[in-house]
Structure 1
Amino acid sequence: MRTDALGSSTPDAPKHPANGDPHVTTSSGPTVPFALARFASDAGPVPGLVVGDRIRPLSAAELGADTLNEFLAEGESGWDRLEPLAAESADDADPSAAVWLPLASVTLLAPVEPRQVLQTGANYRTHVIDLVVAGRAKQDPRPVEELREWAAELMDRRAREGIPYFFIGLPACVVGTEEILELPAYSDQHDWELELAVVIGAPAFRVSREDALAHVAGYTIVNDVTTRDLVFRQDMKEIGTDWYRAKNAPGFLPTGPFLVPARHIADAGDLRLTLSVNGETMQDATTDDLLFDIPALIAAASETMPLLPGDLLLTGSPAGNGVVHGRMLRDGDVMVGTIEGLGSQVVHAAAARVPA
């Protein structure tokens, strides 16, 4: 899988790997001065500094830390160290430019190594209203518009008086976007959920909304894949939701491909998100539709458990999921998810391989 230059436009949906070279042109880079990534090498995962269409491997000495999470814990001083290295990429005559590799020549991995993944449910106003209408009981006599108005009033009251709704994802599900998303055969109701993900920097424990953003290292893109018919238990409906089975199959959190420093995103509360499936736009929204903004999410999540460097806090998915379109993921689908400033990710879906 190859990655286009930083700042380039979202590419056309590439061919499915089953039809040819699995390393087809896919994700486009963020429109920022530099970003972090991780890529595969013979020695294992390597952190890299991304500028334009090139990537520079970072040693522990250059990173200033033995691990990526230790680097993220430093906050702004870590990013300050990387700025001179990023500036090197502009000077091809500099001998040090030899360490820069074409971005297209490496296999990108997930740009983070979270120890905890927190997912936020029902956090886009329009998305929740759409789900209420889509799940309308057959015996409900209300017209659709009346039902939408009722759901809108409910969400507005929740934003004023309620608290965020969190559940836990498995870090093992976090994979790079170059991995094929295998759709488990136990269901045909696998759905997409494009999300802006917060990457924690300095540890956050019981922080206030006012101090919350100081604990953000950066942002990345996550597609929070969900098996819709497993969300609610059928054997005992009183139990409610079953997020473990619905969201934690292998590869169900394609992440990245880049980690963009928070300093390069002027306002994470006003970013456009779009997701297409085979070239057809399914999700198109902005983060100003969030019921609970990023400071509110960090403050609420950190009230219970410390958030650690490198942890992912998913902020929710906007309207336009497959359950509303009446169309779920199928073998051969190509999803292109783009978030303003963060670039785009391309995820190939395929039917699960049948064991020998």
Structure 2
Amino acid sequence: MRIGRIDGRLKLISGELALDVEAASDGRFSADPDQVFPLWPEFTAWAGRQSPGEGEPFTAAQVGPPLLWPAQVFGIGLNYRAHSEEAGVAKPPTSPAVFTKFASSITGPYDTVTLPSDKVDWEVELVAVIGERAYQVSEKDAWRHVAGLTVGQDLSERAVQLTGPVPQFSLGKSYPGFSPIGPVLVTPDEFSDPDDLALGCAVDGETLQDGRTKDLIFSVPELVARLSAVLPLLPGDLIFTGTPSGVGMARDPQRYLKPGTTLVSTIEGIGELRNPLVGP
């Protein structure tokens, strides 16, 4: 199943067609995509009986983020070995490096992003969305708590992020527009292997990152288990699972995003973000 926000409304997606959920369910489910996650088991049971192909055509200009106001947004740092190495970390972490991103940074898959400085870096990421409350769940049971997967960018203003004496990860990664997600949410059963997906990003046709999620140090199920060992994960929560190697800060010379370009972020089986970049 694929769901998305089309003209601000929850839709079931099939190719280029979108079925309005509120209308098709006779008001059983809200038009607001954020409201479906607390009802996820009930919603998926209903959605499995529908025919999304009966929907209406839509265009990219109508598509927004799959959800806008999650209760919690987690970010995971240094979760690919090659990225850990390029960051100068001698040994891969033995536990996830967790930070938060603020929900006001979420934007759509095709929205324009304003760069607040000349130190903004790219980080394409697989984003897991929680569907059922998870607290102290095991790794083997974790996937059933995941509503689906989407594409994300963990944009990072490196000067703010690394201002000391203690790094400010959450602030540096939470400017408006710094968390594009979309274009759809895809349930795990849609993938032959949800733990091995190609992902990458490019600027104006130049590839900047190219990796596979099988190279995650901590997989989606392990992240759900480790996070939920400490606190409840709530329906609609986002987990930005980490980025592969190729970020701008690790290059020699360092390189950052520039106004007037377009950042394209892609994950196999989900789709792409295409965010034009402008100056302040």
* Shared fold (TM-score, shorter chain, > 0.5): yes
Q: Secondary structure at the match of 1:37?
A: strand
For 2:190 and 2:39, locate their aligned partners in 1 and report how far apart those are by CA, in whole Å. 17
For 1:251 and 1:272, locate their aligned partners in 2 and report how far apart those are by CA, in whole Å. 24
Query: What's the TM-score once normalised by structure 2's chain length?
Result: 0.91
Q: Secondary structure at the match of 2:51?
A: helix
Q: Secondary structure at the match of 2:126?
A: strand
Residue identity matched to 2:10: P
- Corresponding residue number in structure 2 for 1:128: 84
- Corresponding residue number in structure 2 for 1:48: 11
For 1:324 and 1:130, locate their aligned partners in 2 and report how far apart those are by CA, in whole Å. 6
**What's the CA shift for 1:340?**
0.9
- Corresponding residue number in structure 2 for 1:205: 135
For 1:231 and 1:110, locate their aligned partners in 2 and report how far apart those are by CA, in whole Å. 25
Residue identity matched to 1:210: K
Matched, 1:177 2:109: yes
**What's the CA shift for 1:75?**
4.3
- Give the alignment partner of residue 316 of structure 1, picking from 214, 224, 242: 242
- Corresponding residue number in structure 1 for 2:98: 166
Give the count of matched residue pairs: 275
1:265-310 CA-to-partner distances (Å, cap 9, x unmatched) read: 2322211101111100010000111111111111111122211111
- Corresponding residue number in structure 2 for 1:7: none
For 1:83 and 1:210, locate their aligned partners in 2 and report how far apart those are by CA, in whole Å. 24
- Give the alignment partner of residue 65 of structure 2, picking from 110, 114, 127: 110
Query: What's the TM-score once normalised by structure 1's chain length?
Result: 0.73
- Corresponding residue number in structure 1 for 2:4: 37
Q: Secondary structure at the match of 1:304?
A: coil
Q: Is contact 2:60-2:110 (8 Å) kept?
A: no
**What's the CA shift for 1:107?**
1.4
More off after superposition, 247-256 vs 294-303: 294-303
- Give the alignment partner of residue 231 of structure 1, picking from 161, 181, 202: 161
Bigger strand share: 2
Matched, 1:217 2:147: yes
Residue identity matched to 1:52: G
Q: Give the root-mean-square deviation of aligned CA atoms.
A: 1.9
Q: Considering only CA atoms, is the larger Rg found in Structure 1 or Structure 2? A: 1
- Corresponding residue number in structure 2 for 1:4: none
Q: Write the mapping of 1:71-90 to structure 2, written as runs, cut at 5 A.
A: 71-86=36-51, 89=53
For 1:193 and 1:166, locate their aligned partners in 2 and report how far apart those are by CA, in whole Å. 15
Residue identity matched to 1:111: P
Matched, 1:262 2:192: no
Q: Tell me, which stretches of 5 or more residues in structure 2 are unaligned?
A: none
Evaluate the alpha carbon distance shift between residue 77 and residue 244 of structure 1 in structure 2; reply closer, same or farther with a 3 A threshold.
closer
- Corresponding residue number in structure 2 for 1:119: 75
Evaluate the alpha carbon distance shift between residue 320 and residue 49 of structure 1 in structure 2; reply closer, same or farther with a 3 A threshold.
same
Q: Is contact 1:173-1:252 (8 Å) kept?
A: yes
Q: Is contact 2:129-2:239 (8 Å) kept?
A: yes
Residue identity matched to 2:146: V
- Give the alignment partner of residue 272 of structure 2, picking from 332, 344, 354: 344
For 2:128 and 2:241, locate their aligned partners in 1 and report how far apart those are by CA, in whole Å. 7
For 2:180 and 2:60, locate their aligned partners in 1 and report how far apart those are by CA, in whole Å. 20
For 2:111 and 2:186, locate their aligned partners in 1 and report how far apart those are by CA, in whole Å. 21
Q: Tell me, which stretches of 5 or more residues in structure 1 are unaligned?
A: 1-33, 90-96, 134-150
Q: Secondary structure at the match of 2:183?
A: coil
Q: Write the mapping of 1:6-17 to structure 2, written as runs, cut at 5 A.
A: none
Evaluate the alpha carbon distance shift between residue 219 and residue 226 of structure 1 in structure 2; reply closer, same or farther with a 3 A threshold.
same
